[in-house]
Structure 1
Amino acid sequence: MLYGLVNQLIDLVKKYETDVEGPSDNIIEFQDWLNKHLKSEVEISSPEPQWIGKANGRSADSVINTSLVHLYRYAKMHAKTAIADTSFSTPDEFIYLIGLASGGSMSKTALIKQNIHEKPVGTLIINRLLNKGFIEERLGDGDKRSKIISITSLGNQHLKESMDKIKTASANVTEPLSLTEKMNLIDLLLKLEDFHWLQAEKKIG
Protein backbone atom coordinates (compact mmCIF):
# COMPACT_ATOMS: atom_id res chain seq x y z
CA MET A 1 0.00 0.00 0.00
CA LEU A 2 1.25 3.49 -0.82
CA TYR A 3 1.32 4.74 2.78
CA GLY A 4 3.41 7.79 1.87
CA LEU A 5 0.85 8.92 -0.68
CA VAL A 6 -2.02 8.29 1.77
CA ASN A 7 -0.24 10.38 4.43
CA GLN A 8 0.27 13.20 1.94
CA LEU A 9 -3.38 13.07 1.03
CA ILE A 10 -4.40 13.24 4.69
CA ASP A 11 -2.15 16.28 5.17
CA LEU A 12 -3.74 17.94 2.14
CA VAL A 13 -7.24 17.29 3.48
CA LYS A 14 -6.21 18.87 6.79
CA LYS A 15 -4.88 21.93 4.95
CA TYR A 16 -8.07 22.07 2.89
CA GLU A 17 -10.11 22.15 6.11
CA THR A 18 -7.91 24.94 7.46
CA ASP A 19 -7.68 27.10 4.35
CA VAL A 20 -11.25 26.92 3.09
CA GLU A 21 -14.17 28.59 4.79
CA GLY A 22 -16.93 25.98 5.12
CA PRO A 23 -15.03 23.06 3.56
CA SER A 24 -17.16 20.44 1.85
CA ASP A 25 -16.76 16.68 1.56
CA ASN A 26 -17.63 17.01 -2.14
CA ILE A 27 -14.73 15.46 -4.06
CA ILE A 28 -15.10 17.88 -7.00
CA GLU A 29 -14.78 20.93 -4.73
CA PHE A 30 -11.74 19.35 -3.04
CA GLN A 31 -10.23 18.64 -6.47
CA ASP A 32 -10.71 22.28 -7.52
CA TRP A 33 -8.96 23.46 -4.35
CA LEU A 34 -6.18 20.90 -4.81
CA ASN A 35 -5.50 22.00 -8.38
CA LYS A 36 -5.19 25.65 -7.31
CA HIS A 37 -3.08 24.70 -4.28
CA LEU A 38 -0.65 22.59 -6.31
CA LYS A 39 -0.43 25.26 -9.00
CA SER A 40 0.62 27.83 -6.41
CA GLU A 41 3.06 25.41 -4.80
CA VAL A 42 4.82 24.30 -7.97
CA GLU A 43 7.31 26.73 -9.44
CA ILE A 44 7.23 26.44 -13.19
CA SER A 45 10.80 26.10 -14.42
CA SER A 46 10.76 27.60 -17.90
CA PRO A 47 13.62 29.45 -19.57
CA GLU A 48 13.52 33.22 -19.22
CA PRO A 49 12.48 34.83 -22.53
CA GLN A 50 14.88 36.95 -24.51
CA TRP A 51 14.11 40.47 -25.72
CA ILE A 52 15.81 43.32 -27.56
CA GLY A 53 17.98 45.33 -25.20
CA LYS A 54 18.01 42.76 -22.41
CA ALA A 55 21.81 42.48 -22.48
CA ASN A 56 22.01 46.26 -22.14
CA GLY A 57 19.78 46.33 -19.09
CA ARG A 58 16.31 46.82 -20.57
CA SER A 59 13.86 45.67 -17.91
CA ALA A 60 10.96 43.22 -18.15
CA ASP A 61 8.61 46.07 -17.10
CA SER A 62 9.75 48.11 -20.12
CA VAL A 63 9.12 45.20 -22.49
CA ILE A 64 5.65 44.50 -21.05
CA ASN A 65 4.62 48.16 -21.28
CA THR A 66 5.85 48.46 -24.86
CA SER A 67 4.14 45.21 -25.89
CA LEU A 68 0.83 46.32 -24.38
CA VAL A 69 1.00 49.61 -26.31
CA HIS A 70 1.88 47.77 -29.54
CA LEU A 71 -0.93 45.24 -29.05
CA TYR A 72 -3.41 48.06 -28.45
CA ARG A 73 -2.37 49.56 -31.80
CA TYR A 74 -2.66 46.22 -33.60
CA ALA A 75 -6.09 45.66 -32.01
CA LYS A 76 -7.15 49.14 -33.15
CA MET A 77 -6.04 48.37 -36.72
CA HIS A 78 -8.14 45.17 -36.76
CA ALA A 79 -11.10 47.00 -35.23
CA LYS A 80 -10.97 49.76 -37.83
CA THR A 81 -11.03 47.13 -40.57
CA ALA A 82 -14.05 45.49 -38.92
CA ILE A 83 -16.12 48.71 -38.91
CA ALA A 84 -15.06 49.90 -42.39
CA ASP A 85 -18.46 49.18 -43.97
CA THR A 86 -20.66 49.71 -40.91
CA SER A 87 -22.46 52.65 -39.32
CA PHE A 88 -19.79 52.99 -36.63
CA SER A 89 -17.32 55.87 -36.91
CA THR A 90 -14.78 54.53 -34.39
CA PRO A 91 -14.14 51.23 -32.55
CA ASP A 92 -15.05 52.97 -29.29
CA GLU A 93 -18.64 53.36 -30.47
CA PHE A 94 -19.31 49.64 -30.72
CA ILE A 95 -17.30 49.03 -27.52
CA TYR A 96 -19.67 51.39 -25.70
CA LEU A 97 -22.66 49.60 -27.24
CA ILE A 98 -21.31 46.18 -26.26
CA GLY A 99 -20.95 47.47 -22.69
CA LEU A 100 -24.60 48.57 -22.64
CA ALA A 101 -25.84 45.40 -24.35
CA SER A 102 -24.07 43.13 -21.86
CA GLY A 103 -24.20 45.27 -18.71
CA GLY A 104 -27.57 46.94 -19.14
CA SER A 105 -28.50 50.60 -18.66
CA MET A 106 -26.12 52.72 -16.65
CA SER A 107 -25.23 56.33 -15.95
CA LYS A 108 -23.11 58.36 -18.32
CA THR A 109 -20.38 58.50 -15.70
CA ALA A 110 -20.39 54.72 -15.19
CA LEU A 111 -20.25 54.03 -18.94
CA ILE A 112 -17.31 56.39 -19.44
CA LYS A 113 -15.54 55.02 -16.36
CA GLN A 114 -16.06 51.43 -17.58
CA ASN A 115 -14.15 52.28 -20.74
CA ILE A 116 -11.33 54.13 -18.92
CA HIS A 117 -11.91 57.40 -20.78
CA GLU A 118 -11.61 61.02 -19.69
CA LYS A 119 -15.05 62.64 -19.37
CA PRO A 120 -14.74 64.92 -22.46
CA VAL A 121 -13.70 61.99 -24.70
CA GLY A 122 -16.43 59.71 -23.37
CA THR A 123 -19.05 62.43 -23.73
CA LEU A 124 -18.17 62.89 -27.42
CA ILE A 125 -18.59 59.14 -28.06
CA ILE A 126 -21.93 59.09 -26.25
CA ASN A 127 -23.15 62.15 -28.18
CA ARG A 128 -22.29 60.49 -31.50
CA LEU A 129 -24.23 57.38 -30.50
CA LEU A 130 -27.18 59.55 -29.41
CA ASN A 131 -27.19 61.41 -32.75
CA LYS A 132 -27.24 58.07 -34.60
CA GLY A 133 -30.13 56.82 -32.48
CA PHE A 134 -28.08 53.87 -31.21
CA ILE A 135 -28.60 54.86 -27.56
CA GLU A 136 -31.08 56.93 -25.59
CA GLU A 137 -30.84 58.78 -22.30
CA ARG A 138 -33.24 59.60 -19.49
CA LEU A 139 -33.01 61.28 -16.12
CA GLY A 140 -32.05 59.05 -13.21
CA ASP A 141 -34.75 58.20 -10.70
CA GLY A 142 -32.75 59.15 -7.62
CA ASP A 143 -30.54 61.95 -8.88
CA LYS A 144 -32.18 64.21 -11.45
CA ARG A 145 -28.75 65.46 -12.55
CA SER A 146 -27.70 61.93 -13.52
CA LYS A 147 -28.38 60.73 -17.06
CA ILE A 148 -29.10 57.01 -17.58
CA ILE A 149 -27.97 55.59 -20.92
CA SER A 150 -29.66 52.62 -22.65
CA ILE A 151 -29.08 50.90 -25.97
CA THR A 152 -31.96 51.25 -28.45
CA SER A 153 -33.41 48.60 -30.75
CA LEU A 154 -31.61 50.35 -33.63
CA GLY A 155 -28.34 50.17 -31.71
CA ASN A 156 -28.90 46.47 -31.02
CA GLN A 157 -29.64 45.88 -34.70
CA HIS A 158 -26.42 47.54 -35.90
CA LEU A 159 -24.42 45.79 -33.18
CA LYS A 160 -25.75 42.39 -34.26
CA GLU A 161 -25.10 43.16 -37.93
CA SER A 162 -21.46 43.99 -37.14
CA MET A 163 -20.85 41.30 -34.51
CA ASP A 164 -19.35 38.69 -36.86
CA LYS A 165 -16.78 41.19 -38.13
CA ILE A 166 -16.03 42.33 -34.58
CA LYS A 167 -15.53 38.74 -33.42
CA THR A 168 -13.19 38.11 -36.34
CA ALA A 169 -11.18 41.22 -35.45
CA SER A 170 -10.91 40.06 -31.83
CA ALA A 171 -9.81 36.58 -32.92
CA ASN A 172 -7.16 38.05 -35.23
CA VAL A 173 -5.50 39.80 -32.28
CA THR A 174 -5.13 36.54 -30.30
CA GLU A 175 -4.79 34.22 -33.31
CA PRO A 176 -1.44 32.53 -32.48
CA LEU A 177 -2.46 31.60 -28.92
CA SER A 178 -3.86 28.23 -27.85
CA LEU A 179 -6.93 28.05 -25.62
CA THR A 180 -4.75 27.34 -22.58
CA GLU A 181 -2.51 30.31 -23.40
CA LYS A 182 -5.57 32.54 -23.77
CA MET A 183 -6.89 31.48 -20.35
CA ASN A 184 -3.48 32.15 -18.77
CA LEU A 185 -3.27 35.53 -20.47
CA ILE A 186 -6.78 36.48 -19.31
CA ASP A 187 -5.78 35.58 -15.76
CA LEU A 188 -2.70 37.83 -15.91
CA LEU A 189 -4.43 40.74 -17.66
CA LEU A 190 -7.35 40.72 -15.21
CA LYS A 191 -4.86 40.73 -12.34
CA LEU A 192 -3.25 43.86 -13.81
CA GLU A 193 -6.60 45.49 -14.56
CA ASP A 194 -8.00 44.83 -11.08
CA PHE A 195 -4.88 46.31 -9.48
CA HIS A 196 -4.99 49.50 -11.55
CA TRP A 197 -8.77 49.82 -11.14
CA LEU A 198 -8.35 49.80 -7.35
CA GLN A 199 -5.51 52.32 -7.57
CA ALA A 200 -7.69 54.64 -9.67
CA GLU A 201 -10.59 54.23 -7.23
CA LYS A 202 -8.34 55.24 -4.32
CA LYS A 203 -7.21 58.38 -6.16
CA ILE A 204 -10.80 59.36 -6.96
CA GLY A 205 -11.93 58.61 -3.42
Structure 2
Amino acid sequence: MNFDLIKEVVGLVQQFIEQNEDELLYSNDIQGFKEWINASSKSYSEEKNPDWVGKELGRSSESIINTLLIRMGRYAKTYSRSIGSSFFASQDDFIYLINLKTMGAMTKMELIRNNVSEKSSGMLIINRLISNGWAEQTISQKDKRMKHIQITEKGISVLEEHMDEIRKASRVVVGNLNHSEQMLLIAILSKLDEFHDSFYHMNVETGNLLDMVYKRLN
Protein backbone atom coordinates (compact mmCIF):
# COMPACT_ATOMS: atom_id res chain seq x y z
CA MET A 1 0.00 0.00 0.00
CA ASN A 2 1.32 3.46 -0.95
CA PHE A 3 1.11 5.32 2.37
CA ASP A 4 2.78 8.44 0.91
CA LEU A 5 -0.03 8.76 -1.62
CA ILE A 6 -2.63 8.31 1.12
CA LYS A 7 -0.97 11.06 3.17
CA GLU A 8 -1.05 13.41 0.18
CA VAL A 9 -4.73 12.71 -0.45
CA VAL A 10 -5.57 13.26 3.23
CA GLY A 11 -3.61 16.52 3.11
CA LEU A 12 -5.60 17.66 0.06
CA VAL A 13 -8.89 16.78 1.77
CA GLN A 14 -7.86 18.81 4.83
CA GLN A 15 -6.94 21.74 2.58
CA PHE A 16 -10.30 21.49 0.84
CA ILE A 17 -12.23 21.43 4.13
CA GLU A 18 -10.33 24.40 5.60
CA GLN A 19 -10.66 26.51 2.46
CA ASN A 20 -14.28 25.62 1.83
CA GLU A 21 -15.25 26.50 5.41
CA ASP A 22 -14.10 30.08 4.73
CA GLU A 23 -15.33 30.52 1.16
CA LEU A 24 -18.22 28.01 0.86
CA LEU A 25 -17.73 27.67 -2.90
CA TYR A 26 -18.26 23.89 -3.10
CA SER A 27 -20.53 21.25 -1.59
CA ASN A 28 -18.96 19.28 1.27
CA ASP A 29 -18.98 15.94 -0.54
CA ILE A 30 -16.93 14.02 -3.10
CA GLN A 31 -18.43 16.02 -5.98
CA GLY A 32 -17.43 19.31 -4.33
CA PHE A 33 -13.94 17.92 -3.68
CA LYS A 34 -13.55 16.92 -7.36
CA GLU A 35 -14.70 20.37 -8.51
CA TRP A 36 -12.19 21.98 -6.14
CA ILE A 37 -9.36 19.79 -7.50
CA ASN A 38 -10.25 20.68 -11.09
CA ALA A 39 -10.43 24.40 -10.31
CA SER A 40 -7.09 24.27 -8.48
CA SER A 41 -5.42 22.48 -11.41
CA LYS A 42 -6.81 25.00 -13.88
CA SER A 43 -5.71 27.92 -11.74
CA TYR A 44 -2.18 26.51 -11.47
CA SER A 45 -1.83 26.02 -15.24
CA GLU A 46 -2.97 29.60 -15.88
CA GLU A 47 -0.54 31.03 -13.34
CA LYS A 48 2.47 29.37 -14.99
CA ASN A 49 2.31 31.93 -17.80
CA PRO A 50 0.20 34.89 -16.60
CA ASP A 51 -0.44 38.10 -18.52
CA TRP A 52 0.45 41.56 -17.23
CA VAL A 53 0.19 45.14 -18.42
CA GLY A 54 2.89 45.88 -20.98
CA LYS A 55 3.99 42.27 -21.45
CA GLU A 56 3.33 42.36 -25.20
CA LEU A 57 5.49 45.51 -25.39
CA GLY A 58 8.42 43.84 -23.71
CA ARG A 59 7.83 44.76 -20.06
CA SER A 60 9.79 42.26 -17.96
CA SER A 61 8.50 40.05 -15.16
CA GLU A 62 10.97 41.78 -12.80
CA SER A 63 9.39 45.16 -13.61
CA ILE A 64 5.81 44.08 -12.95
CA ILE A 65 6.79 42.24 -9.74
CA ASN A 66 8.39 45.43 -8.39
CA THR A 67 5.32 47.46 -9.32
CA LEU A 68 2.89 44.98 -7.76
CA LEU A 69 4.89 44.78 -4.51
CA ILE A 70 4.87 48.59 -4.24
CA ARG A 71 1.12 48.69 -4.90
CA MET A 72 0.45 46.01 -2.27
CA GLY A 73 2.47 47.98 0.28
CA ARG A 74 0.37 51.06 -0.44
CA TYR A 75 -2.88 49.13 -0.16
CA ALA A 76 -1.79 47.75 3.23
CA LYS A 77 -0.80 51.22 4.43
CA THR A 78 -4.17 52.63 3.38
CA TYR A 79 -6.12 49.96 5.27
CA SER A 80 -3.95 50.36 8.37
CA ARG A 81 -4.80 54.05 8.67
CA SER A 82 -8.21 53.14 10.06
CA ILE A 83 -6.66 51.10 12.89
CA GLY A 84 -6.80 53.07 16.15
CA SER A 85 -6.55 56.36 14.30
CA SER A 86 -6.85 58.25 17.58
CA PHE A 87 -4.03 56.21 19.15
CA PHE A 88 -1.44 55.23 16.54
CA ALA A 89 0.43 57.84 14.52
CA SER A 90 1.20 55.23 11.83
CA GLN A 91 1.09 51.50 11.18
CA ASP A 92 4.71 51.31 12.35
CA ASP A 93 3.58 52.02 15.92
CA PHE A 94 1.58 48.82 16.28
CA ILE A 95 3.98 46.80 14.11
CA TYR A 96 6.84 47.73 16.45
CA LEU A 97 4.68 46.85 19.46
CA ILE A 98 3.77 43.47 17.95
CA ASN A 99 7.48 42.78 17.42
CA LEU A 100 8.28 43.62 21.04
CA LYS A 101 5.41 41.51 22.33
CA THR A 102 6.19 38.42 20.25
CA MET A 103 10.01 38.58 20.21
CA GLY A 104 10.70 40.15 23.60
CA ALA A 105 13.06 42.95 24.61
CA MET A 106 15.80 43.97 22.18
CA THR A 107 18.14 46.86 21.47
CA LYS A 108 16.92 49.84 19.50
CA MET A 109 18.93 48.83 16.45
CA GLU A 110 17.68 45.23 16.60
CA LEU A 111 14.10 46.50 16.65
CA ILE A 112 14.76 48.87 13.76
CA ARG A 113 16.44 46.13 11.69
CA ASN A 114 13.63 43.67 12.35
CA ASN A 115 11.23 46.19 10.86
CA VAL A 116 13.48 47.08 7.90
CA SER A 117 13.36 50.77 8.84
CA GLU A 118 15.83 53.58 8.30
CA LYS A 119 17.68 54.44 11.52
CA SER A 120 16.32 58.00 11.72
CA SER A 121 12.66 57.05 11.21
CA GLY A 122 13.04 54.00 13.46
CA MET A 123 14.36 56.13 16.31
CA LEU A 124 11.38 58.49 15.95
CA ILE A 125 8.97 55.56 16.22
CA ILE A 126 10.74 54.15 19.30
CA ASN A 127 10.83 57.55 21.00
CA ARG A 128 7.11 57.95 20.30
CA LEU A 129 6.33 54.56 21.83
CA ILE A 130 8.34 55.45 24.93
CA SER A 131 6.71 58.90 25.16
CA ASN A 132 3.25 57.29 25.04
CA GLY A 133 4.22 54.85 27.77
CA TRP A 134 3.79 51.85 25.46
CA ALA A 135 7.47 50.87 25.60
CA GLU A 136 10.33 51.49 28.00
CA GLN A 137 14.10 51.38 27.98
CA THR A 138 15.77 49.06 30.46
CA ILE A 139 19.30 47.98 31.36
CA SER A 140 20.26 44.53 30.13
CA GLN A 141 20.67 42.00 32.92
CA LYS A 142 23.46 40.27 31.01
CA ASP A 143 25.42 43.39 30.07
CA LYS A 144 24.91 46.54 32.15
CA ARG A 145 26.35 48.63 29.31
CA MET A 146 23.52 47.60 26.98
CA LYS A 147 20.01 49.07 26.95
CA HIS A 148 16.94 47.23 25.74
CA ILE A 149 13.50 48.33 24.60
CA GLN A 150 10.56 46.35 25.91
CA ILE A 151 6.78 46.66 25.70
CA THR A 152 4.95 47.89 28.83
CA GLU A 153 1.67 46.71 30.31
CA LYS A 154 0.08 49.84 28.86
CA GLY A 155 1.49 48.96 25.43
CA ILE A 156 0.11 45.42 25.67
CA SER A 157 -3.28 46.80 26.70
CA VAL A 158 -3.42 49.26 23.76
CA LEU A 159 -2.32 46.53 21.35
CA GLU A 160 -4.94 44.07 22.60
CA GLU A 161 -7.61 46.76 22.44
CA HIS A 162 -7.03 47.18 18.69
CA MET A 163 -6.01 43.62 17.78
CA ASP A 164 -9.36 42.82 16.15
CA GLU A 165 -8.89 45.79 13.81
CA ILE A 166 -5.31 44.72 13.05
CA ARG A 167 -6.47 41.19 12.20
CA LYS A 168 -9.26 42.60 10.04
CA ALA A 169 -6.77 44.73 8.07
CA SER A 170 -4.50 41.70 7.63
CA ARG A 171 -7.42 39.66 6.33
CA VAL A 172 -8.42 42.40 3.89
CA VAL A 173 -4.88 42.70 2.49
CA VAL A 174 -4.82 38.96 1.72
CA GLY A 175 -8.00 39.57 -0.27
CA ASN A 176 -9.38 36.68 -2.33
CA LEU A 177 -6.38 34.34 -2.07
CA ASN A 178 -7.36 30.84 -0.99
CA HIS A 179 -5.42 28.81 1.58
CA SER A 180 -3.05 27.11 -0.86
CA GLU A 181 -2.32 30.42 -2.62
CA GLN A 182 -1.57 32.05 0.74
CA MET A 183 0.87 29.27 1.64
CA LEU A 184 2.60 29.60 -1.75
CA LEU A 185 2.86 33.38 -1.35
CA ILE A 186 4.35 32.99 2.14
CA ALA A 187 6.99 30.62 0.78
CA ILE A 188 7.91 32.95 -2.10
CA LEU A 189 8.00 36.15 -0.04
CA SER A 190 9.98 34.41 2.74
CA LYS A 191 12.56 33.30 0.18
CA LEU A 192 12.87 36.88 -1.11
CA ASP A 193 13.03 38.33 2.39
CA GLU A 194 15.78 35.92 3.43
CA PHE A 195 17.82 36.85 0.36
CA HIS A 196 17.54 40.63 0.80
CA ASP A 197 17.88 40.66 4.59
CA SER A 198 21.55 39.65 4.38
CA PHE A 199 22.31 42.76 2.30
CA TYR A 200 19.87 45.40 3.47
CA HIS A 201 21.62 46.62 6.61
CA MET A 202 25.17 46.62 5.25
CA ASN A 203 26.94 49.91 5.97
CA VAL A 204 27.62 50.80 2.35
CA GLU A 205 26.32 53.45 -0.01
CA THR A 206 23.08 52.65 -1.81
CA GLY A 207 24.73 52.54 -5.23
CA ASN A 208 27.42 50.13 -4.06
CA LEU A 209 24.81 47.97 -2.34
CA LEU A 210 22.80 47.75 -5.55
CA ASP A 211 25.87 46.69 -7.52
CA MET A 212 26.83 44.16 -4.83
CA VAL A 213 23.45 42.46 -4.83
CA TYR A 214 23.23 42.55 -8.63
CA LYS A 215 26.63 40.83 -8.96
CA ARG A 216 25.51 38.12 -6.55
CA LEU A 217 22.64 37.30 -8.92
CA ASN A 218 24.91 36.93 -11.93
When normalised by structure 2's length, the TM-score is 0.70
- Give the conservation status (yes or no) of the 8 Å contact 1:140–1:146: yes
Report the alpha carbon displacement of residue 184 of structure 1 after superposing the two structures with TM: 0.6
Cα distance in 2 for partners of 1:171, 1:62 equals: 27
Cα distance in 1 for partners of 2:140, 2:120 equals: 20
Matched to 1:197, the amino acid is: D
Cα distance in 2 for partners of 1:167, 1:106 equals: 25
Cα distance in 2 for partners of 1:45, 1:154 equals: 50
Residue of structure 2 in register with 1:83 after alignment: 84
Residue of structure 1 in register with 2:174 after alignment: 174
Cα distance in 1 for partners of 2:193, 2:203 equals: 16
Residue of structure 2 in register with 1:21 after alignment: none
Q: Residue 50 of structure 1 aligns to a residue in which SS?
A: coil
Residue of structure 1 in register with 2:66 after alignment: 65
Residue of structure 2 in register with 1:94 after alignment: 94
Cα distance in 2 for partners of 1:109, 1:199 equals: 16
Q: Residue 138 of structure 2 aligns to a residue in which SS?
A: strand
Residue of structure 2 in register with 1:22 after alignment: none
Report the alpha carbon displacement of residue 112 of structure 1 after superposing the two structures with TM: 0.4
Spell out, residue by residue over 1:146-178, the C-alpha distance to the aligned partner (whole angstroms, 9 max, x if none): 320110000000000000001001101112110
Matched to 1:198, the amino acid is: S
Q: Residue 112 of structure 1 aligns to a residue in which SS?
A: helix
- Give the conservation status (yes or no) of the 8 Å contact 1:83–1:162: yes
Cα distance in 1 for partners of 2:119, 2:198 equals: 19
Matched to 1:54, the amino acid is: K
Cα distance in 2 for partners of 1:45, 1:204 equals: 43
Cα distance in 1 for partners of 2:200, 2:112 equals: 14
Cα 1:176–1:45, aligned 2, differ >3 Å: closer, same or farther? closer
Cα distance in 2 for partners of 1:154, 1:55 equals: 55
- Give the conservation status (yes or no) of the 8 Å contact 1:83–1:91: no
Report the alpha carbon displacement of residue 140 of structure 1 after superposing the two structures with TM: 2.8
Residue of structure 2 in register with 1:24 after alignment: none
Cα distance in 2 for partners of 1:144, 1:78 equals: 41
Report the alpha carbon displacement of residue 145 of structure 1 after superposing the two structures with TM: 4.7
Pair 1:134 & 2:134 matched: yes
- Identity among equivalent positions (%) equals 41
- Structure 1: give runs of 5+ residues left out of the alignment: 1-5, 10-26, 36-43
Matched to 2:159, the amino acid is: L
Residue of structure 2 in register with 1:15 after alignment: none
Q: Residue 149 of structure 1 aligns to a residue in which SS?
A: strand
Residue of structure 1 in register with 2:153 after alignment: 153
Report the alpha carbon displacement of residue 186 of structure 1 after superposing the two structures with TM: 0.4
Q: Residue 82 of structure 1 aligns to a residue in which SS?
A: coil
Matched to 1:191, the amino acid is: K
Give the number of equivalent residue pairs: 168
Residue of structure 1 in register with 2:26 after alignment: none
Cα distance in 1 for partners of 2:128, 2:80 equals: 18
Instruction: Mark the structure with the bigger radius of gyration.
Output: 1
Q: Residue 52 of structure 1 aligns to a residue in which SS?
A: coil
Residue of structure 2 in register with 1:120 after alignment: 120
Residue of structure 2 in register with 1:54 after alignment: 55
Report the alpha carbon displacement of residue 144 of structure 1 after superposing the two structures with TM: 4.7
Q: Residue 82 of structure 2 aligns to a residue in which SS?
A: helix
Report the alpha carbon displacement of residue 204 of structure 1 after superposing the two structures with TM: 4.5
Matched to 1:55, the amino acid is: E
Q: Residue 81 of structure 1 aligns to a residue in which SS?
A: coil
Residue of structure 2 in register with 1:198 after alignment: 198
When normalised by structure 1's length, the TM-score is 0.75
